[in-house]
Structure 1
Amino acid sequence: MGRLSGHLLPGFFFISFALWWAYNIFFRYYVSRKEAVINGRSRKCLRYKSSLLFPCHTCCNGAPVEAFLIVAATTIGIIGELVTGFRGGQFVNVGNTQHMSMYFFFGLMAFVNILLHYKFSIPPSTDYAVALLAIVNEALLFANHLHGRPPMDVLVHTLLLYPMAASLLCGAIEMAYRCQVLAALGRTYGTILQGTWFCHVGFILYPLPGMRVWDQEDHSQMTVITTLFTVHLAVDLIVLMVIAGIVNLRVRMMDRPSVQRVLKNINVRFMKDSNGSNGDATRAMISESEDEL
């Protein structure tokens, strides 16, 4: 990632997938709230269920399109790092191996999600476990990626460890408590924060012609960098709030059959991910929801 494109590419992917997650998480949550209101239940008794990735129910017959895209993107990333690592027939950019490792684990996460979708005999929530491992691997690589670099370079990359830690903690809680929407949103927030800061770091370290050139040894400028990170904290939160408002308006306009159909798709998806461990309970939930609606 020792160039602008090396920061913009992963940043773009983090932002894109996080926005997709945010939309789907809020959509599931508000649909669950509306279903509870329709059936006269307390909003504390929601049928919200979280998932690591989200299939596309409007096309491809609910296929795990997102997971396939992640596998494709990480494969392209690995090939790109491998090809650009060679000079004169020798592999000289050793740092590329760390980037390849990061891509591999996120690609493995998506691959496991695909296996769960197609009911392969693997333990439920294995995709969550691999995702947590991918975040640990990413944090480990970044923590040991900065030896001998200028102070500002070290700072901007060290700040990335905070959203990684947040994603790791929230992802672990989400894996254990699939009904906790705040845990899913916390994971999403950590991911979009990684993405926006990744992109900003690229422009700080590799400014385009005409852009400000930062003095990477100036501690006063490093203070400004930390303040800019807090701006990302605020802006990314506002983005999630805007998405929540838009999704809430959409769900308010849905009729009962639409709510029933969405909840059924979600519960069937959850039953696939559970791989039978919660199958009976989920089938009962689907049946009960259909009777009430």
Structure 2
Amino acid sequence: MANFKGHALPGSFFLIVGLWWSVKYPLKYFHQKGKNSRLNHYYQRLEVIEAAVKILFSVIGILAEQFVPDGPHLHLYHENHWMKLMNWQHCTMYLFFAVSGIIDMLTYLASHVPLGVDRLVLAMAVFTEGFLFYYHVHNRSPLDQHIHSLLLYALFGGSISISLEVIFRDNIVLELFRTSLVILQGTWFWQIGFVLFPPFGTPAWDQNDEANIMFITMCFCWHYLVALCIVAINYSLVYCLLTRIKKHGGEIIGIQTLKSNHTYQTALLSGSDEER
């Protein structure tokens, strides 16, 4: 959708996923570090739920692109004309992420799926998104082309990072790097919407002003800095929370141990009194 909502929708999807990952991966990392194997089953269930949500988001995106009032309504070619190819490109992007969600689900539900295929398909989905965006803005204004081209850095960088996860699976550095790029995607989609389709009657940006292009480039760096801060803050919060829980849990265990020792000593004393 070539409007504000058409950019806010995928932006919201990516932002939700990125924020969730910024909490999930630190949790998983600290539990694995503590060798808490009891939680593996729960993490697998979370992965399946996450895959289902990814598929749901993709289906919602496809339906929104197809069946908006000015959408193609599943018509690709009609009366010697291509129908709403921009919407079809967006649908193609969502389709690849839906396939990624299906592979994610199969990875944790079917034992015969090779480990790492889920990361490979996700890398392909992100690469496809970048490939589509590269050819998405031809014959557009300079600002329109530039603001979309900046997104390619996050997409192709994310694709390379996810490809490395095929080999270095469960690497917390790669996972957090991917998370930061997904958050960047989410916030930048919103930024594109505000720049190209200003809501609430705000003045339109000059699409040919060089100063606007310079500002948008700088703004992209700010967006990524915010994404890194979000990842760092959530990582720290998860660490502090787990440390506090572990500390309180240790105290409770200590109290229980003292109580059991006291009970054992009382039983011994009672037994000795009876013998007398």
Fold shared by both chains (TM-score > 0.5): yes
| 1:232 aligns to 2:232 (yes or no) | no
Tell me the percent identity. 30
Q: Secondary structure at the match of 1:57?
A: helix
Cα pair distance change 1:174/1:61, threshold 3 Å: closer
Render the CA deviation track for 1:59-98: whole Å, top value 9, x for unaligned: x9657111111111211211222223238x8573121111
| 1:177 aligns to 2:168 (yes or no) | yes
Cα pair distance change 1:163/1:238, threshold 3 Å: same
Over the aligned positions, Cα root-mean-square deviation in angstroms equals 2.7
What residue number does 2:256 align with? none
Render the CA deviation track for 1:100-144: whole Å, top value 9, x for unaligned: 110000000011111111125322211111111101110110000
Cα pair distance change 1:65/1:182, threshold 3 Å: same
What residue number does 2:54 align with? 70
Alignment check: 8 A CA contact 1:56 1:64 kept: no
From 27, 37, 42, the equivalent of 1:57 is 42
Structure 1 or 2, whichever has the larger Rg, is 2
Alignment check: 8 A CA contact 1:31 1:251 kept: no
What residue number does 1:124 align with? 115
What residue number does 1:248 align with? 239
| 1:25 aligns to 2:25 (yes or no) | yes
Cα drift, residue 10 of structure 1: 0.4
TM-score by length of 2: 0.79
CA distance in 1, matches of 2:12, 2:170: 29
Q: Secondary structure at the match of 2:25?
A: helix
TM-score by length of 1: 0.75
CA distance in 2, matches of 1:86, 1:16: 28
| 1:4 aligns to 2:7 (yes or no) | no
Cα pair distance change 1:62/1:227, threshold 3 Å: closer
Cα drift, residue 186 of structure 1: 0.9
Q: Which runs of 5+ in 2 are unaligned?
A: 251-276
Q: Secondary structure at the match of 1:160?
A: helix
Count of aligned pairs between the two proteins:
240
Q: Secondary structure at the match of 1:158?
A: helix
What residue number does 2:193 align with? 202
| 1:187 aligns to 2:178 (yes or no) | yes
Alignment check: 8 A CA contact 2:72 2:87 kept: no
Q: Secondary structure at the match of 2:207?
A: coil
Q: Which runs of 5+ in 1 are unaligned?
A: 37-46, 49-54, 260-293
1:141-160 equivalences in 2 (<5 Å): 141-160=132-151
Render the CA deviation track for 1:177-227: whole Å, top value 9, x for unaligned: 114211111111111111100111101000013424210001111111111
CA distance in 1, matches of 2:41, 2:85: 38
